[in-house]
Amino acid sequence: GCTKKLLMRAVQCALKQSMLQAEMGSLALRDELTGVYNRRGFLALAERQLKLGRRSGRAILVFFADVDGLKQINDKFGHAEGDLALVRAAQVLEKTFRDSDVIARFGGDEFAVLALEVSGHSEATIRARLEQNLKELNARHSLYTLSISLGAARFDPASPRSPESIEQLMIRADEGMYEEKRHRSKPFLVAALD
């Protein structure tokens, strides 16, 4: 009777505590606003993927993405709209990449993505999908045009010139993103309200 009830209660409490700890661990690795991984979660998973890539001989793509004009969105429409732009950017990235790819918000308006390279999942294919997904999103939301600059770096275990660490890959991807921003034909413009 009483012992059995106490034992059941102890098991329930232990299960509840275990579930809360798992949830807290997940929250520590996720960006609260967008729901994608945060920097800590990305780096932990990226290191693991890099090791797997080395062992399996598979190439890895690392992308660095920046939401263009976020400051102007915040200034013109308020921070709530700026937050919504970040959420939409995360959703576009999730739609662009595969479920198995690691997407993270690094802070502010910057995101990083790690993708195992497989046939049909090249940088050019990803860029084309990103442009299409942004076009579809912008057709539905006309307050401003959401734009994302993207830089990429490739880890190829067969190449001696390939970056050796996640940090080196991220630096190259970040440089590529800023290069894209410099050469973009149209700067980001926030739509004027009538």
Quote the pLDDT of residue 15.
62
Which residue of the set 31, 66, 68, 109 is catalytic? Answer: 109
Whether 190 maps to a domain, the answer reads no
Quote the pLDDT of residue 188.
46
Q: Is the same domain home to 174 and 90? A: yes
Q: Is the same domain home to 11 and 79? A: no
Q: Is the same domain home to 43 and 59? A: yes
Determine contact, residues 144/190, Cβ cutoff 8 Å.
yes
Whether 1 maps to a domain, the answer reads yes
Quote the pLDDT of residue 187.
44
Q: Is the same domain home to 24 and 42? A: no
Q: Is the same domain home to 4 and 69? A: no
Q: How far is CA 32 from the centre of its chain?
A: 13
Quote the pLDDT of residue 20.
47
Quote the pLDDT of residue 11.
61
Q: Pseudo-torsion of CA 15, 20, 25, 27, nearest 10°? A: 150
Quote the pLDDT of residue 181.
84
Q: Please say whether the dihedral angle defined by the alpha carbons of residues 115, 116, 119 and 122, taken in this order, is positive or negative.
A: positive
Q: Is the same domain home to 61 and 1? A: no
Quote the pLDDT of residue 148.
94
Measured CA to CA, the distance from residue 182 to residue 176 in angstroms comes to 10
Q: The domain containing residue 24 runs over which residues?
A: 1-30
Q: Is the same domain home to 51 and 14? A: no
CATH code at 133?
Answer: 3.30.70.270
pLDDT tens digits, residue range 71-87? 999 999 999 999 999 99
Whether 188 maps to a domain, the answer reads no
Quote the pLDDT of residue 113.
95
Q: How many domains does the chain have?
A: 2
pLDDT tens digits, residue range 39-60? 999 998 998 888 888 888 888 8
Show the low-confidence residues of the chain (pLDDT under 50). Answer: 20, 23-24, 187-194
Quote the pLDDT of residue 1.
73
Q: Is the same domain home to 18 and 63? A: no
Of residues 165, 114, 7, 137, the one with CA closest to residue 67: 137
Whether 147 maps to a domain, the answer reads yes
Q: Is the same domain home to 120 and 162? A: yes
31 belongs to the catalytic site? no
